[in-house]
Amino acid sequence: MKKMEVTKLYGCIANVNDAFIEEAQMVRLKRKSPVWLKGSVLAACICLVIATAVVCIFPARFETHPDISLGETMEPSIAATPDAGTGNPIASNPTGERLEKNSPAVVLHMNEVFVNDLDEMPSDAKLWYDPELYDHVFWGKEEVAAYYGKDLTPAYVPDGLFAAAGNGTAQMIVEKNGTVTVDELYLHYYHAYSETGGPKLTDPILARKGFTLSASKIGLVKDCFYILPENEVKTSNIGGIEVTIGYRPMPYGPYDAQTKEPAGYYDVYVAEFVLDGIGIDVTAEQMPLEEVVKVVASVICGTDELELDLVPGT
Amino acid sequence: MEDSQIIDLYFRRDEAAISETAAKYGAFCHGIALNVLSNNADADECVNDMYLRAWNSIPPQKPEKLGAWLGKVARNVAFDLWKKNHRKKRHAGMEQLLNELEDCIPSPVTVEREIEERELTAVINAWLASLPQNDRILFMRRYWYGDSVSKLAKEIGTTPGSVAKRTYQLRQKLKRILEQEGNWL
């Protein structure tokens, strides 16, 4: 039946106005500027404007006495507090550079985190690759690390979550000529695992608890769908990296036989960003937003020294 | 040759109309058919069928935009052939039974259905008109011309995933419009 309906829709699309057919034939699609370029230009402009404004308005702050609001363990260059609502980094790191491990604490300003409503989660269904054309190649930790050029293990993992046994290894799909077609790396951190290695569900909320970090240099096959149009989706600046965070209340069973209502909903957050040319997304289930932000910040900044700033304007 | 001149040839029943059509729009229509059928021989057959239909339809029809009109004919012919091929490929079992039982269903081509489809096309036209130009072109290129996601991604300078995401959003928008307009499907 559904096929008949789709056929009908396809047939109706065939008969749309000739002007649209001609337009699509004659006019080329507009090219997008590379995201990194737009991001870099925007970040550079914002940094310049903010730096100029701060120096002009608060010259006294740049004298040698310490800023008592920063705390003793923090260097001013890292923990300078941004003004609320300006789109400044939530993980204060004005240089935009990754921090070395064991750097002083990174402060995460939660009032600068933007969360977008997710329309639909990407499907977990995998594409089928013809074994006559592609090989499934197992990569060990060293090969994965060499390919990505860095260790993507989050420096911060919330208490009660544990790394899955196979973390750090990956199953790549490679064309017969050696070209890598699918390079997805998955790092799983969940509260418990079954004997087969998959995350266990919690009780009474029948869902996983924890997060999966997915990474790909080629481009993640899965992609989130936001309710807002692509150009209206807001990003959060964490450690100099634009991160798109999505949220969806996910229903869980059992479902009422009469009303079909679920037993309840649990939180699902997805954070997507590009770090050094690697597309990364963190999908977190049954985790508070603050913990998700800390995990993301730890990947970006490379440190587990993270402090949450929950009070707006401080 | 200008479109109006080609149409004049059709009206004069001059067979040069076919060769002029082939020279100007043959490759264009072949591309459309190929996107539907993924088979060169089938696409050739479609384009030949399209010439015949154009010959039989003009006159009395006088297309304002000959390219778009021919494209539509090529697309419809290709779609019919796709359905025919698809039916042939079905094998024994449930598919076969269902296929045979389809004969019991009255012909779907009714006046009522034609009106319904015309109204549905009008809704899609209005929706297309409301879209930003780039979104409209993207939708048409994907679902009218059948261009692949990777081809579109290359043209835009983005990833196939990003194109897939955008086309998904467009489909969701259209779905909402169709639902608002009264459960067409």
Give the tens place of pLDDT for each residue, B73-106: 999 899 888 877 776 665 545 555 555 555 555 5
Distance separating alpha carbons of residues A33 and B162, to the nearest angstrom: 13
CA angle A213, A219, A225 (to 5 degrees): 75
Answer with the residue of higher pLDDT: B24 or A229: B24
Nearest Cα of chain A lies from the Cα of B69 at a distance, in angstroms, of: 7
- Least confident piece of the model among A5-9, A299-303, A309-313: A309-313
Other beta carbons less than 10 A from residue A102's beta carbon: 10
What's the pLDDT score for residue A34?
Answer: 54
The 3-state DSSP composition of chain B as helix, strand, coil percent (nearest 5) reads 80, 0, 20
pLDDT at A297: 93
Percent of chain A at pLDDT above 70? 69
In this structure, of A128-132, A277-281, B14-18, B151-155, the range with the lowest mean pLDDT score is A128-132
State whether A14 and B72 contact (CB < 8 Å).
Answer: yes
Q: In this predicted structure, what is the pLDDT of residue A218?
A: 84
A120, A146, A296: which is closest to A212 by C-alpha? A296
Q: What pLDDT is attached to residue B146?
A: 85
Return the pLDDT at B103. Answer: 54
pLDDT at residue A187, as a whole number: 93
**Between A257 and B11, the higher pLDDT residue:** B11
Residue B28 in contact with partner chain A when CB distance is under 8 A: yes
Nearest CA in chain A to B183: A5
Cross-chain Cβ contact B125/A223 below 8 Å: no
Residues paired with A237 in a beta bridge? A242
Q: What is the pLDDT of residue A151?
A: 85
Cβ contact, residue pair B117, A11, below 8 Å: yes
**Inter-chain contact A230–B136, Cβ cutoff 8 Å?**
no
In this complex, the residue of A18, A31, A225 whose CB is nearest that of residue B165 is: A225
For residue A25, what are its two tokens? Answer: 């034939």
pLDDT given for residue B110 in this prediction = 61
Task: Answer yes or no: do B133 and A27 touch at CB < 8 A.
Answer: yes
* pLDDT surpassing 90 at residue B158: no
pLDDT in tens, A190-202: 999 887 778 888 8
- Using the structure block, give the residue that is written with the tokens 């402009």: A45
- Provide the pLDDT for residue B106: 56
pLDDT at A197: 79
Q: What percent of chain A has pLDDT over 90?
A: 19
Residues of chain B neighbouring A7 (CB-CB closer than 8 A): 83
Nearest CA in chain B to A122: B165
Task: Mean pLDDT check: name the lowest of A78-92, A127-141, A149-163.
Answer: A78-92
pLDDT tier at A38, thresholds 50, 70, 90 = low
> Long-range pairs for B154-157 at CB < 8 Å and ≥24 separation?
B155/A28, B155/A29, B155/A31, B156/A29, B156/A30, B156/A31, B156/A32, B157/A31, B157/A32, B157/A33, B157/A34
Predicted pLDDT at A77:
31
**Tell me, what's the pLDDT at A189?**
95
CA-CA-CA-CA torsion sign (B116, B120, B125, B129): positive
Q: Do A29 and B152 touch (CB under 8 A)?
A: yes
State the residue for tokens 């740049």.
A62
Is the model's pLDDT at B63 over the cut of 80? Answer: yes
- Which whole number is the average pLDDT over A229-255? 84
Phi-psi region of A178 (alpha: psi -120 to 50; beta: other; left: phi over 0): left
Q: How many CB atoms lie within 10 A of CB B31?
A: 16
Residue pLDDT, tens place only, A53-97: 665 565 555 444 333 233 333 333 323 333 333 444 555 444 444
Does residue A83 or residue B170 have the better pLDDT? Answer: B170
Q: Which amino acid is at B49?
A: D
Split at pLDDT 50, 70, 90, the class of A142 is: confident
Summarised one tens digit per residue, pLDDT across range A252-273 is 877 777 777 788 888 899 999 9
pLDDT of residue B182: 66
Distance from CA of A116 to the nearest CA of B (A): 15
Q: Which of A10, A17, A220 to mutate to test the interface with B (most CBs of B within 10 A)?
A: A17
Residues A268, A281: Cα–Cα separation, whole Å = 13
B156, B164, B168 ranked by CB distance to A31: nearest: B156
- What's the mean pLDDT in A13-20? 86
State residue A63's pLDDT score. 46
- Residues in B touching A221 (Cβ below 8 Å): 161
DSSP letter string over A177-190?
TS-EEE--EEEEEE
Interface test with A, best of B131, B165, B174, B183 (most A CBs within 10 A): B165
Give just the sign of the alpha carbon dihedral B44, B48, B53, B55: positive
Query: What is the DSSP annotation of A86-116?
Result: S---SB--TT-PPPPTTPSPEEEEGGG---E
Mean pLDDT of chain A: 75
Per mean pLDDT, which range of A185-194, B78-87, B138-147 is the poorest? B78-87
pTM summary value: 0.46
Task: Confirm if A221 and A191 have CB atoms less than 8 A apart.
Answer: no
